Structure 1
Amino acid sequence: MTNIQNGPFIVTGASGQLGRQVIDNLIAAGASPIIAISRSPEKLADLADKGVEARKGDFNDPASLPAAFAGGKRLLIISTDDLEPGKRLEAHKNAVAAATKEGITHIVYTSLTNPVEESPITFSKDHSDTEALIRQTGANYTILRNNLYADLVLTGGAQSIAMGQHFAAAAEGKAGYVTRADCARAAAAALMRETGSSVLDITGPEAVSQGDIAAILSEISGKDIPYIAISTDELVQGMIGAGLPESMAKVFASFDEAIAMDYLSVATDDLENLTGQAGQSVGDFLNANKAALLTPQAQ
């Protein structure tokens, strides 16, 4: 695909897993100049040889953002992962305000599937409020409503195979799981090529249930891995018992609750239309990572 827009292209959260993959996609496509923003720019030192400028920027330190965004044209705001109530939205407000002040012409934002107030996902409203802030800037925007990462299924799947059972509090609901790599491709494509304003659902090719996932794990492991539906409270207590802080356990459990209520049962062609390539299915992703699923260290 051609028709790359004029940069500079700014990627925030550049030292994180998603941000780093976005930058790799931009470099591969020949986009330039690229500015990588991180709270720890020293982690990006290796990118200098690839022509990428690393800058320090922290959404929680608004004074750091004008210099970080200076001269940029197209900006990717990768949502922060702060679980403290209100802190994520405040950080996003700082980023959007700085983008407006520095004259950013196009904002790409990684949002969430169905970010409605009624969603049980604990930070859903942070996303809907951030989307509203971006719409109010007057800049063009691409809002990428990413579904749940299939990468999370990889971690949980290794545990399920080890236990011989796949536990979840998702009832019979489905989710349009999408790989982090596909989300990175989508973000890079939007940053480079999208014009105007749009809201896109970035999903895998089909929505799958936990029963479907258990069947895939059974096939990969060569043993029967039944899906055991449990309550949200049971899931929370199980994660706490495994050493997860209660606040984080409730966040993860809220994903299952959202699946059970069909808030995440979304599968579209938006990813393929945006990038020219369909997303990887959960089955193909798990089979491609079969070794990790079956390796004790991954459990």
Structure 2
Amino acid sequence: MSIVITGASGHLGRRTAELLLTTNGVDAADVVLLTRSPDKLTDLAARGAQVRHGDFADPRTLPAAFAGATRVLLISIDAGAERVDHHRAAIEAAKAAGVGLIAYTSYPNPDPRRNSASVVPDHAATEAAILGSGVPHTFLRNNVYSEYVALFSARNPLTAGAFVHNFGDGASAYVSREDCAAAAAAVLAGGGEHAGKTYDVAGPEPLTGTELAGLYASAGGTEVEAVSVDDGTWIADAVANGLPEPAARNVASFGRAIREGALSQRGGDVEQLTGRRPVSVGDVLKGMVD
């Protein structure tokens, strides 16, 4: 068995690799870590994992990078004009290597007709490319990271005393990066039972803006008011507080998706894959504030 993790020097890739070697008991010699920066993974190389250079933007590097792969975790790369093309290059290289499973870190409801988050078209296109390749697949539809919740407030909740959001009454089941890594590791270390499956990797419960304000208040020991605004007001407020306008419009699209109910899936699949309940947003926030 040869398990390949792309983007392995990032938070999710690194943690997935660590869990494979510890919790999941995979032999380090069977773990292959693809990265554009091999020097960032010397510690895992010292533990016996293979570290290979691979750059989706340079397809010439990919045949050697994926050689011998039996399972691949394709971690979605950062958004950009060539994102889907780069994903396709990796999919084609994995297929040429004879891989038996591609697990892809996707997004909930990846259908632009149902989900207005800006990342959705790219995830939809990538899922379609994997399906079109004919390679057995697992889609890990990771919800918004709990660690990123603060981004959804136009102001810093603790210093401003307000969680300013554009969710309306909508809710999202935020999930910790640790749970995303644990779910991915479980799929990679498992057998053929995961082929053809789609998992909603989500937190234990959907939370509204009001509930998030309460969690921030509890974590920070201060009063935090929930303030619901429309998209335009949220963008203007975020820009006034230092967020570049393109980024503000991007984040606002996620808030709109929450408002429309596209990110409210519960985390039953995390428990199914890992054998434990997902980490709560409150615990993540407490860890970040402490």
> Of 3, 27, 39, which aligns to 1:9?
3
Q: Provide Cα deviations, 1:165-186, integer angstroms capped at 9, x if missing partner.
A: 1111111100010001100001
1:213 is matched with which residue? 212
> What residue identity is the alignment partner of 1:151?
E
For residue 117 of structure 1, the aligned residue among 108, 112, 125 is 112
Q: TM-score scaled to structure 2, two decimals?
A: 0.93
Counterparts of 1:43-122 in structure 2, within 5 Å, are 43-82=40-79, 84-85=80-81, 87-118=82-113, 119-122=115-118
| Aligned pair partner of 1:31 in 26, 30, 43 | 26
Across the two proteins, how many residue pairs are aligned to each other? 283
Preserved contact between residue 219 and residue 282 of structure 2 (Cα < 8 Å)? no
Q: Is the 8 A contact 2:152 2:165 kept in 1?
A: no
**Unaligned residue ranges in structure 1 (runs of 5+):** 1-6, 292-299
CA distance in 2, matches of 1:23, 1:268: 22
* CA distance 1:288–1:261, shift in 2 (3 Å): same
128, 131, 134: which one aligns with 1:132: 128
- Per-residue CA distance 1:66-114 (angstroms, 9 max, x = gap): 11101111000000112x33x1111111111111111111111000011
Q: What is the Cα deviation at residue 207 of structure 1?
A: 0.6
Q: 1:35 is paired with a residue of what secondary structure? A: strand
Cα offset, 1:36, TM superposition: 0.4
Q: Tell me what 1:294 maps to.
A: none
Matches within 5 A, 1:252-267: 252-267=251-266
Instruction: State which of 125, 132, 140 in structure 2 corresponds to 1:144.
Output: 140
Query: Where does the alignment leave 5 or more consecutive residues of structure 2 unmatched?
Result: none
Q: In structure 2, how many angstroms separate the alpha carbons of the residues matched to 1:129 and 1:156?
A: 26
TM-score normalized by structure 1? Answer: 0.90
- 237-246 or 35-44, which moves further after superposition? 237-246
Partner letter of residue 73 of structure 1? T
Please name the residue that 2:39 is paired with. 42
Within-5 A mapping of 1:213-252: 213-252=212-251
Partner Cα separation in structure 2 for residue 167 and residue 257 of structure 1 = 13
Provide the C-alpha distance between the structure 2 equivalents of 1:201 and 1:109, rounded to a whole number of angstroms.
12
Render the CA deviation track for 1:221-271: whole Å, top value 9, x for unaligned. Answer: 333211001121222223333333332222111111100111101114111
Question: Are residues 256 and 91 of structure 1, via their aligned partners in 2, closer, same or farther at CA, if it must alter by over 3 Å?
Answer: same
Structure 2 residue aligned with 1:295: none
Over aligned residue pairs, what C-alpha RMSD do you find? 1.6
Answer yes or no: is the 8 Å Cα contact 2:147–2:176 preserved in 1: yes
Q: What code does the residue aligned with 1:232 have?
A: D
CA separation in 2, counterparts of 1:40 and 1:238? 37
- The AA in structure 1 aligned to 2:159 is A
Indicate the residue corresponding to 1:288 in structure 2. 287
Amino acid at match of 1:267: R
